[in-house]
Structure 1
Amino acid sequence: MSATSALLLRSATVVSTRDGSHSPATDVLVQDGVITAVGPGLTPPDGARTVDVTGRYLVPGYNDMHAHPLGRGGDVAATLELMLVHGITGYRQMSGDLDLLKARASGDLRFPAASPALLAMPGPLLTMLNTATPEETARTVRDQVAAGADFVKSAAMTKERFFDAQAEALRLGVPIVGHLPGGIDVLRASRLGMKSIEHFGSGLGVLACCSTDEHAIQRAAGQGQRLKLPKIRLPFLGGVVDRVMGAVMRRIVLNPVNLNKPEDVALVDRAVRTYDEERTRELAEHFVADGTWHVPTLIRQRTSKLCDDPAFPADPDLRYISRATLKTWNGAVATFRKKFGPEQRATFAASHRYEYDMVRVFDEAGVGMLVGTDSSGAVWVVPGAALHDEIDLLAEAGVPPLRLLRMLTLSAAEFLGTTDSMGTVEPGRNADLVLLAADPVEDAAHLHGVVGVVRAGTYHSERDLTAAKDRLAAARAVD
């Protein structure tokens, strides 16, 4: 893989992410990582690298809008490169810490050349550990915003503290995104400005709102959401509490479904049995009116709720995963099988099927949606490759090819407010691009045919991508 200050992609078919129209035999000139000209018969400057891409379809680079490549251990550089060679040129980091934010602010947060762009990042996740009181909640949010957080993310917190965090974040002009606490008034959170709901809220989340028995289910879900922490944080207890919460979060990352108790599964079953599409449609209309986005992460939902599906350990993309990680994932499967009987597993599978219905209804209603995977660390979710799994699942749910292309590209830019620099193949946009072998508007499966990637002006050919994948797989084989 090589870089030059100027690159000319000759005779591409440029696909518009706005309306799906095609501009065949179009040249794209890139200088210093930015698209400077788009049109037929362009003359490159002296010394420019020219690549003939006749017959290829050119689109903006893909964006994984829910990923965790930073801060979860492992080989970060390898994870980032694995994402890039699968066509991901940008990602929204969904967990962070104050040190990462400070390093970014000072210019000390550096990444390898073969890496997607970090598009946005929060501070530490909001949990019951750092949001015990209204005052602590507000202080936690202020500290993150002061350190440069692009958003704050709700994880394991109570519904009361969620609204405290939301109020403080919005007061400071920073969006709140993430999970929905059990029993929360979802429409209130949406109306007050929740920017994006991840994994349909996680847990019961949005599914409860689609039930004709919503209020009773939400009341029950709101009970038992308190983590029993000491009211007085004595010095010798601090480390114990931190370790306990850290262990809980690691289990949530691996497979949150395994944390369910029998009463939790019973509530999911109740929501499944009372699911109503008309209520789902009404909910979607509220999300549209409020401007609340969704990142379904169907692949994450599938691998969590169908954890013991024999197709997962047979996935050829596991060649990119270390033996240590596979051992951990197989341990999660063993827990899943031991903890849940056939009826409970059937309940999880049914709830997942309704998530496809929610995606379809949301899409038809015009709810803003983004593509995300929840890699790295989640059971059976392979960084990079999982984005293509997500494409297939969204297509299975009924999302049309053009809408999928937009979700991967222009919608991400609209969500971030960066349409002047990404999301389209136009002058002035960052030179983060994907070359496809076939028309992505014709068939969603064609979004998998990545035969070239341009990242910040550096061209990675199909041969380069294949060689990198083989190298990354070989490295994992000896881990």
Structure 2
Amino acid sequence: MTPPPPVTGQAAAGRDTAVLLKNATVVDTRDGTLAPGTDVLIRADRIVDVRPGIVVTDGPEPFTVDARGKYVVPGYADMHAHPLGQRPEEEARDLELLLAHGVTGFRQMSGSLALLEKRASGTLGLPAASPELLALPGPLLLTPVNAATGEQAVAAVREQHAAGADFIKAAMVTPEVFFAAQAEALRLGLPIVGHLPVGIDVPKASRIGMKSIEHLGPGVGLFACCSTDGAHVHANAAGQPAMKVPPFKLPFMERVMERVVKKLVINPINRTKPADIENLRLAVRTFDDDLAAELAERFVADGTWQVPTLIRVKTQELCDDPAFANDPDLRYMGEATVRSWKAAARKFTAFPAEARETFRAVYRRQLELTKLFDDAGVPMLVGSDCSGAAWVVPGASLHHEFDELARAGLTPLRVLQMTTLRAAEFLDATDTMGTVEPGRRADLVLLDADPVERVEHLHRIAGVVRAGQHYGAAELDALKERVAARA
């Protein structure tokens, strides 16, 4: 058994001790301006003062951090993550890894009525070193499990609304079911987000009020809108076979489907048929920048957000890249998990060379589409799609997402905004998060270098403050080592 770490830092001074970051450079996430020589005073879980020369004259001596040469930004938000709902040890591992990599908040993208009930009763039981749960849905809408018809989908939306869901997530549903669920969700004041159903009218879904589209579709949904032969791309996709399930409802069907989906999400690309690959090839070949710009204008006008999760689509479409299998961060994951990821990679290598080249071409187009959306002003968020996806290690994956967004051509400031300020805007929470200002939650990241200068500097974490608790670099390293020792 790994011995407990020595009590150091703020923990040694007392959990309720105020924290004072001295002589930091505070980064304004609105425009990237820097305020050097600034102190940040934290009491409990709130920032109470931000200015040069703070002197605390009331109460006990604060725990003081010499932040000279450090850059302070809001804590990172992973806006597409799945740490909850796993086995307790996996859940704790992933939440601790997220925090150790600077993630102080996450949007849980798969839920259940049980999780909603636990949140309502305050019994989620998250570890002490955990990011904040920012939003939680009920069960995914899946055709035909809980959304075989529009009526069934409406009933599911009502049930989730009554249980306190923050949003509705559509996964594998038909267009008819999606629009029925969307109408009911909007009537109840619930955002609807998720995957684009195959063959759906994307501009219509955006215009009516789909709040966020995940994974750039996934599939050919957005590409069909950007293709000079979009009608054929749509029609070909609509001919794909639906998920096979028994023609009658079995006891525990939803639990069975949860296991099926868990296995599927390791790498859905592995289910791709030759006809699907040919359709992807057609979509890539007929991609048109002007049509993509029209789609971007639609999203801007409607306020439809995008969460590209580039690292997720990359690990699917380039699953056999040796860099993934050689990633030193795999040491944090259990042996069974790594074996399943390696098995998915072996299965991927069974695709013909021309198919794998098509997948690589699709990814290049997805990078281009992300840049085009950003240039057009489409609102976007950073998300990594941990946990469960092959080669996506929680926490580290968000940093890989930063790098992929930079590879697409986004500026360092834009990437920083997408994981801080834009997340606050999406959640309508700019009064409590997204900037380093009095009244905001004390969720912060201290960096060794200017994050507005280079995206790589977002990786150089010197400390994290979560709900007023300061974790120095040594404590973050120790947290990672404890996770690795349990793997």
Letter in 2 for 1:120: A
Q: CA deviation at 1:247?
A: 4.6
Letter in 2 for 1:384: G
Q: CA deviation at 1:223?
A: 2.4
Partners of 1:317 and 1:228 in 2: how far apart? 36
> Match for residue 357 of structure 2?
346
Which residues of 2 match residues 222-237 of structure 1 at below 5 A?
Answer: 222-229=238-245, 232-233=248-249, 237=250
Contact 1:89 1:117 in 2 (8 A): yes
Match of 2:432 among 397, 417, 421: 421
SS of the aligned residue for 1:288 comes to helix
When residues 214 and 39 of structure 1 are mapped into structure 2, their CA distance, relative to the original with a 3 A threshold, is same
Question: Residue 442 in 1 paired to residue 453 in 2?
Answer: yes
Contact 1:158 1:225 in 2 (8 A): no
> Match for residue 131 of structure 1?
147
> Match for residue 103 of structure 1?
118
Match of 1:166 among 182, 205, 209: 182
Contact 1:4 1:49 in 2 (8 A): no
Question: Residue 199 in 1 paired to residue 211 in 2?
Answer: no
Letter in 2 for 1:46: G
> Match for residue 410 of structure 1?
421
Contact 2:240 2:276 in 1 (8 A): no
Letter in 2 for 1:62: Y
Partners of 1:158 and 1:114 in 2: how far apart? 40
Match of 1:186 among 191, 199, 202: 202
Contact 1:158 1:226 in 2 (8 A): no
Provide Cα deviations, 1:7-59, integer angstroms capped at 9, x if missing partner.
Answer: 11111100000011111111111011100111011122432211111110000
SS of the aligned residue for 1:311 comes to helix
> Match for residue 77 of structure 1?
92
SS of the aligned residue for 1:168 comes to helix
Contact 1:152 1:169 in 2 (8 A): yes
Letter in 2 for 1:185: D
SS of the aligned residue for 1:191 comes to helix
Question: Residue 276 in 1 paired to residue 269 in 2?
Answer: no
Letter in 2 for 1:92: R
Partners of 2:29 and 2:254 in 1: how far apart? 45
SS of the aligned residue for 1:254 comes to coil
Could you tell which deviates more after superposition, 344-353 or 69-78? 69-78
When residues 225 and 173 of structure 1 are mapped into structure 2, their CA distance, relative to the original with a 3 A threshold, is farther
Partners of 1:112 and 1:453 in 2: how far apart? 16
Match of 2:316 among 304, 308, 331: 304
Provide Cα deviations, 1:327-355, integer angstroms capped at 9, x if missing partner.
Answer: 111111122122x1111111111001100
Partners of 2:246 and 2:474 in 1: how far apart? 57
Letter in 1 for 2:404: L
Partners of 2:296 and 2:128 in 1: how far apart? 40
Match of 1:456 among 464, 467, 474: 467
Match of 2:40 among 21, 24, 28: 28
RMSD, matched Cα: 1.4
When residues 6 and 375 of structure 1 are mapped into structure 2, their CA distance, relative to the original with a 3 A threshold, is same
> Match for residue 144 of structure 1?
160
Q: CA deviation at 1:316?
A: 1.3
Letter in 1 for 2:396: A
Partners of 2:86 and 2:482 in 1: how far apart? 22
Letter in 1 for 2:64: T
> Match for residue 75 of structure 2?
61
Which residues of 2 match residues 208-219 of structure 1 at below 5 A?
Answer: 208-219=224-235
Contact 2:220 2:233 in 1 (8 A): no
> Match for residue 403 of structure 2?
392
Q: CA deviation at 1:230?
A: 5.4
Match of 2:385 among 368, 374, 383: 374
- Normalised by the length of structure 1, the TM-score is 0.96
> Match for residue 5 of structure 2?
none
Q: CA deviation at 1:130?
A: 0.5
Q: CA deviation at 1:232?
A: 4.8
Q: CA deviation at 1:323?
A: 0.9
Letter in 1 for 2:420: T
Q: Which runs of 5+ in 1 are unaligned?
A: none
Letter in 2 for 1:121: L
- Normalised by the length of structure 2, the TM-score is 0.94
Contact 1:166 1:194 in 2 (8 A): yes
Letter in 2 for 1:102: E
SS of the aligned residue for 1:149 comes to coil
Partners of 1:20 and 1:88 in 2: how far apart? 20
When residues 85 and 229 of structure 1 are mapped into structure 2, their CA distance, relative to the original with a 3 A threshold, is closer
Letter in 1 for 2:458: L
Letter in 1 for 2:486: A
Match of 1:91 among 103, 106, 113: 106
Partners of 1:396 and 1:197 in 2: how far apart? 21
Q: Percent of aligned positions with the same letter in both sequences?
A: 57
Partners of 1:247 and 1:153 in 2: how far apart? 18
Match of 2:26 among 14, 30, 33: 14
Letter in 1 for 2:83: P
Contact 2:382 2:419 in 1 (8 A): yes
Provide Cα deviations, 1:334-387, integer angstroms capped at 9, x if missing partner.
Answer: 22122x111111111100110000011001001001000000110000000000
Q: CA deviation at 1:229?
A: 4.8
> Match for residue 483 of structure 2?
472
Q: CA deviation at 1:227?
A: 3.8
Partners of 2:277 and 2:233 in 1: how far apart? 12
When residues 212 and 72 of structure 1 are mapped into structure 2, their CA distance, relative to the original with a 3 A threshold, is farther
Q: CA deviation at 1:228?
A: 4.9
Provide Cα deviations, 1:75-120, integer angstroms capped at 9, x if missing partner.
Answer: 2112101100100000000000001101111222231110000000
Match of 2:66 among 32, 35, 52: 52
When residues 225 and 158 of structure 1 are mapped into structure 2, their CA distance, relative to the original with a 3 A threshold, is farther
Partners of 2:395 and 2:246 in 1: how far apart? 41
Letter in 1 for 2:375: E
Q: Which runs of 5+ in 2 are unaligned?
A: 1-8
Q: CA deviation at 1:225?
A: 4.9
